[in-house]
Amino acid sequence: MKTEPTFEDILQAAERRKGVIDPSPVVRSGYYSRLFGAEVFLKLENLQETGSFKVRGAFNRIRLLNADEKEKGVIAASAGNHAQGVAWAAARLGISSLVVMPEDVSLRKLLSVKEYGAEVILKGTCYDDAYEHALNLAASTGRTLIPAFEDVHVMAGQGTIGLELSHLLDENTAVVVPIGGGGLISGIAIAAKSLCPGVTILGAQTESCPSVVRALGNGGTSLTEIGPTIADGIAVKRPGDLTLSVIRKWVDEVVAVDEETIAGAVLDLLDKSSVVAEGAGAAPIAAMMSAKFTSRAKRLILIVSGGNIEIHTMDRILHRGSIRMGRLIKIEVNLLDSPGSLWRLTGLLAEKKANILHIFHDRLNLSNPIQVSRVTLSLETRGHDHAREIVEALQHAGYDVILNPAVKKEDEKLRR
């Protein structure tokens, strides 16, 4: 039994997917090049048909099934992206698929898996719970289990990404990859370092589940509890033994970044590069923003591994990000409940070019005198300087302005 995929395995995987899975774009980012002080390229796996890189490994593994295995079908466990990859690949090859997903799985990913024709079972609260159930079902049904990462052929399929980077690889280049179970970074590392031994491979995890960081630190693979995270695609309690051995051998450095930085990277990718990324897909950008890597490179290739993000999650990220950038402020003022009071307030805001997104006129606030109303406004502004200008103008006009605590906190950060 092979201990890890070989470069030849990855080349064969690339041949198998020809005409089925197209290479994803690699685009240079002027914005990130300026921000990080290096030439930066984004590898856009979010543009794969299923919205993530997972289709590569799933297709390569399922393509190798024998006739009996194809007849019985396949089974997989996944928080979403691997499930979509397996469902899509199985449908493409005319094979039935059964997918076990956590009960709190992303609705978007759940619906996508069903649209690709897979039968879905919801079990447990995380990937690891779903995987245990899938193992039992595989034994009882005879279906072939398609692992999310702990499989030579799955890893080889993911490694085809590394082949598509060959024109950019040299000793001054670093490839930054998100890590969950480790299949993606393992495949890419083997491919990239086989092509160019001097290239640097860096991994990014979320601090809410830094399983590989801890395993590399303590030499084991004990379970890591999963905290609340928007990077559900890389929230894996324990990396595989195979993937971890590959990471130890081929990967130069792995760091974990906090959730707020990941959310900021999701927003930044959308705002600056028009790229929709899920939390896991934005982890490499977040890792560079956090400046935790000791490695320095003149060229960076950031793997945007997926773009399957819930609309409501993106909405929260956009609003929180707008507050941090000073583009959205929430203020409260007291007004005499008399004709013209609200008109004068909104007139002053119009004069200062503030866009009123929402206004609530509360005449029943018991903390105010009966003739005074509390008005709450959400305002769109051009940034922190503009927001301060608006607040100061209101205060100069005699209004006692109460600023939303989150907005006030961000403003104080900037002043320091």
CA distance 50 to 53: 8
pLDDT by residue for the chain (416 residues), tens only, comes to 458 999 999 999 999 999 999 999 999 999 999 999 999 999 999 999 999 999 999 999 999 999 999 999 999 998 789 999 999 999 999 999 999 998 988 788 888 899 999 999 999 987 778 889 999 999 999 999 999 999 999 999 999 999 999 999 999 999 999 999 999 999 999 999 999 999 999 999 999 999 999 999 876 666 788 888 999 889 888 888 999 999 999 999 999 999 999 999 999 999 999 999 999 999 999 999 999 999 889 999 999 999 999 888 899 888 888 888 888 999 999 888 888 899 999 999 999 999 999 999 887 777 778 888 889 999 999 989 999 999 999 999 999 898 876 555 555 554 55
Could you tell me the two tokens for 100?
């076990």
Domains annotated for the chain, with CATH where assigned, are: 7-49+152-320 (3.40.50.1100), 54-145 (3.40.50.1100), 326-415 (3.30.70.260)
Please give the radius of gyration of the chain, using alpha carbons only, rounded to the nearest integer: 25
Could you tell me the two tokens for 323?
């507050």
DSSP 367-387: TS-TTEEEEEEEEE-SSHHHH
Sorted by sequence, the CB contacts under 8 Å of residue 230 that are 6+ apart come out as: 259, 262, 263, 266, 278, 279, 309, 313, 317
CA distance 201 to 4: 17
In three-state secondary structure terms, 160 is helix
Could you tell me the two tokens for 239?
């990396």
pTM of the predicted model as reported, rounded to 2 decimal places: 0.86
CA distance 116 to 330: 43
In angstroms, the Cα distances linking 104 to 80, 123, 232, 281 are 11, 9, 10, 20
> Using the 8-state DSSP alphabet, how is residue 47 labeled?
G
Matching residue, tokens 């289990």: 145
Choose among 284, 205, 271: nearest CA to 36. Answer: 284
CA distance 185 to 194: 14
Sorted by sequence, the CB contacts under 8 Å of residue 155 that are 6+ apart come out as: 4, 5, 57, 149, 183, 186, 187, 190, 242, 243, 246
